Amino acid sequence: MKKISEWLKKNILALVTPIILLVIWESASRLGWVRATFLPPPSAIFATLVELMESGEIFINLGISILRVAEGFIIGATLGVLVGLQMALMKKFRIAVSLMFGILRPIPVFAWIPLLILWMGIDEGSKITVIAIGSFWTVLISVVQGIKNVDKKYLEVATILEKDRKTLLLQVMLPAALPAIFTGLRVGIDVAWRSVVAAELIAASSGIGYMIMYARELSQIDVVLVGVLSIGLTGIIIEQLLSLLEKRLLRWNVNLHE
């Protein structure tokens, strides 16, 4: 409780801005400046949200999307860490994949969606793969950069103390690179969340993106808006959870404490 009131004191403006916006929006609708079929008032959107929550429809669809993100992200991030470590530690491997990765990496993950649908259909497989691809690159790059930027001074200390390669990797390089890797994971999950919605908008039979597209076909603009906003809300929750995890894991990182 105390924490919440402290947070409010510091961040009151963060709440004031959206409230002002909502008031203007609501009044504009009530005064008839905007047609409700074009942009329903916040009160109507809220009512739809409550309705969708009561029926559970929104939770089911969000849940499906979140599960896809989780699966795809775990695959993509794990591969990113493993391949990234090899690239950072083995010069030959780095050279071997440099041109291939150089060409593949700039391809927007959405560009893979049509191909993946042709290969795997519109089921889970294609969506999870899209997410895995999206998160793979960001995690990969953060791992390679993180390991390469480990302070040589830390490595010298371990060398003088006659530590073997395994200790060097697990107890010096990885912890030292962890802040960088964590940044990669955060960006990666962001990319993953965007990719799932995009994949579902293009072709799906469930998920939050599908809910939005289906409502569009029925011209239910309020459901479309609820869907879009719930994507943002879920995003901020994921972000906060990760930042909590980061604070726990990287307690030693002075840069995290302001």
Partner 1 sequence: MSAAKTIVQTLTITNLSKTFRIDNNSVKVLEDINLTVEPGEFISIIGPSGCGKSTLLRLVVGLDQEFTGEIRLGDNHIKGPSVNRGMVFQEARLYPWLTIEKNVDFGLGNQHSVEEKKRIVAEHLELVGLSSFANAYPHQLSGGMQQRVSIARALVNRPEVLLLDEPFGALDAITRINMQQEILRIWETEKTTILLVTHDIDEAIFLGDRVVVMSKRPGSTKTIIPVNLPRPRDRNSYDFVTLRKEIYTQFFADVETPFAYSI
Within the chain, what is the greatest distance between any pair of CA atoms?
77
Report the nearest approach of partner 1 to the CB of residue 165 (Å).
14
Which residue number, 99 or 160, has a Cβ lying nearer to partner 1? 160
Report the nearest approach of partner 1 to the CB of residue 168 (Å).
11
Which residue number, 160 or 218, has a Cβ lying nearer to partner 1? 160
Q: From CA 204, how far away is CA 124, in angstroms rounded?
A: 9
Which residue number, 30 or 251, has a Cβ lying nearer to partner 1? 251
Which residue number, 162 or 217, has a Cβ lying nearer to partner 1? 162
Report the nearest approach of partner 1 to the CB of residue 159 (Å).
5
What tokens appear for 214 in the block?
């289906």
Q: Which stretch binds partner 1 (CB under 8 A): 4-12, 126-134, 140-148, 169-177?
A: 169-177
2, 15, 43, 97 from 103: Cα distances, Å: 52, 43, 48, 10
> Which member of 22, 67, 122, 176 binds partner 1 (CB under 8 A)?
176
Q: Which stretch binds partner 1 (CB under 8 A): 38-46, 66-74, 173-181, 215-223?
A: 173-181
Phi and psi at residue 100, to the nearest 5°: -60, -50
Report the nearest approach of partner 1 to the CB of residue 173 (Å).
11
Tell me, residue by residue from 224 to 253, as one string, x for binding to partner 1 by CB under 8 A and - for no binding: --------------------------xxxx
> Which member of 141, 172, 180, 224 binds partner 1 (CB under 8 A)?
172
Q: Could you identify the residue written with the tokens 């599908």?
A: 210
Report the nearest approach of partner 1 to the CB of residue 161 (Å).
6
Q: Is 122 helix (H, G, I), strand (E, B) or coil?
A: coil
- 109-168: contacts with partner 1 (CB under 8 A): 153-154, 156-157, 159-162
CA neighbours closer than 13 Å in the CB half-sphere of residue 187: 15
Which residue number, 123 or 156, has a Cβ lying nearer to partner 1? 156
What tokens appear for 149 in the block?
């930027």
Which residue number, 39 or 250, has a Cβ lying nearer to partner 1? 250
Which residue number, 95 or 170, has a Cβ lying nearer to partner 1? 170
DSSP 27-91: HHHHTTSS-TTTS--HHHHHHHHHHHHHHTHHHHHHHHHHHHHHHHHHHHHHHHHHHHHHHHH-H
Report the nearest approach of partner 1 to the CB of residue 77 (Å).
21
Residue-wise burial string across 15-28, b where 16 or more C-beta atoms lie within 10 A, e elsewhere: eeeeeeeeeebeee
Give Rg (Cα) of the chain.
Answer: 23
Q: Catalog residues that contact partner 1 under the rule CB under 8 A.
A: 153-154, 156-157, 159-162, 171-172, 175-176, 178, 250-254
